[in-house]
Amino acid sequence: MDHPLEPIEPLPLRLEPRALSPSVALVVPVFNEEHVVRMTYDRIAEVMDGLQLHWSLTFVNDGSRDETIAALEQLYDHDPRVSYVALSRNFGHQAALSAGLDHCDGDVVITMDADLQHPPELIPSLLDAWREGYDVVHTRKLSTDGLSPTRSLTTRIAYRLVRSVSAVNIIPQASDYRLLDRDAVEALKRLPERGRLYRGLAPWIGYRQAVVPFVADERQAGSSQYGLRQLGQLFTRSFFDFSHAPLYVGLVVAAASIAICFLYLAFVLVAYLLGKATPSGFLSLMFAIGFLISVNLFFLGIVGVYVARIYDEVRGRPTYLVSRIRRRATLS
């Protein structure tokens, strides 16, 4: 490995080295990736063929609007190890990952992006960690070639904020490039959540986990589908899905507001008893009312976010819908 393996402690069980030659299933979500799909396949095939393992590659077309589906069909006809799942519309990256996990076979599953910022050449390191006995092997970006300093700084700050309040050990600079043992895959599939964030769920399930650091390559073709809006949504989901801290902050702020009001009341009473001129009440009254109303509205909004998430889960809509599946029955 180019970078040392980082175990996530404590390990629930001691490591038991595996001397197996596993079947490997790779899951790659794609959205408007017509220019890079073939390159991704070529790089993955070169690496996997060199490992001399049984492997399969499942692309998940997440409602692409370009010619991605035609490129996937060509790969399906070209290589019997390639299959694809076409979703009925764009459901989002995490839903596409769910579809891939539901429609792949293999002793080991590796999820990765299609833009080649997740270098396939790292796969042997992930498999080495699995052979050491780890069930879940995450990856962590040390840096990203071509990423602006502003974007890099924003991402680091967001991860620190989420980690400071999260009940789950969300890995800093984590990515959806990870290896999952079959037992870990089945554990994730059993989780009832419909709105999924695997950067939080994968650490949550436990098992023996480790992290492999890597330097992310520059995107090979096309343009990134992850703008600031998508990043904001990602970190908002991380914040609310794995933390109750905003609700507890509401209690703290409410208690502080009440304390301030009582302190002000005590100040006015003391001034009155000492015969001092009491301050004009209109301005202070308006400030107190405006402050308390603002606090109430702010935390009503936070409660509303949690209620909306509960509503999404309760109504039970599926995480994704499939319009076409092109796959062969067995690995070759």
* Annotated domain spans of the chain: 6-225+318-326, 245-315
Q: What pLDDT is attached to residue 250?
A: 65
Task: Quote the pLDDT of residue 281.
Answer: 62
Ranges of beta strands (E only) in the chain are 6-8, 24-30, 55-61, 82-87, 108-111, 136-144, 178-181, 209-216, 322-326
The mean pLDDT value for 315-320 works out to: 80
Does 254 score more than 60 pLDDT?
yes
Cβ contact 224:115 at 8 Å: yes
The whole model's pTM is what?
0.72
State the pLDDT at residue 242: 61
Q: How many CA atoms lie within 13 A of 240 on its CB side?
A: 17
Residue appearing with tokens 């001397």: 19
> What are 136-167's pLDDT values in tens digits?
999 988 876 655 566 566 666 666 666 555 55
C-alpha to C-alpha distance for 312 and 246, rounded to whole angstroms: 19
Q: What is the largest CA-CA distance in the chain?
A: 94
Taking residue 282's Cβ as centre, other Cβ atoms within 10 Å add up to 8
pLDDT at 141: 83
Give the residue, 261 or 66, on which the prediction is more confident.
66
Size of the chain in residues = 332
Domain 6-225+318-326 has CATH 3.40.50.720: no
Residue 291 has pLDDT above 80, yes or no: no
Is residue 288 over pLDDT 80? no
Question: What digits encode the pLDDT tens for the residues 36-84?
Answer: 899 999 999 999 998 989 999 999 998 888 889 999 999 999 899 999 9
H or E element, residue 102: helix 93-102
pLDDT at 326 over 70: yes
- pLDDT-derived band of residue 171, with 50, 70 and 90 as boundaries? confident
**pLDDT tens for each residue of 77-123:** 989 999 999 999 988 888 899 999 999 888 999 999 988 888 999 99
The predicted pLDDT at position 180 comes to 95
Beta pairing partners, 110: 26, 179
Q: Kindly report, residue by residue over 206-253, the tens digit of the pLDDT.
A: 899 999 988 877 665 555 555 555 556 566 666 666 666 666 666 677
- The SS3 of residue 108 is strand
Of 180, 217, 215, 251, the closest CA to residue 24 belongs to 180
- Whether 332 has a pLDDT exceeding 50, the answer reads no
Question: Looking at residues 195-206, what average pLDDT do you find?
Answer: 82
Query: What local confidence, expressed as pLDDT, does residue 164 receive?
Result: 59
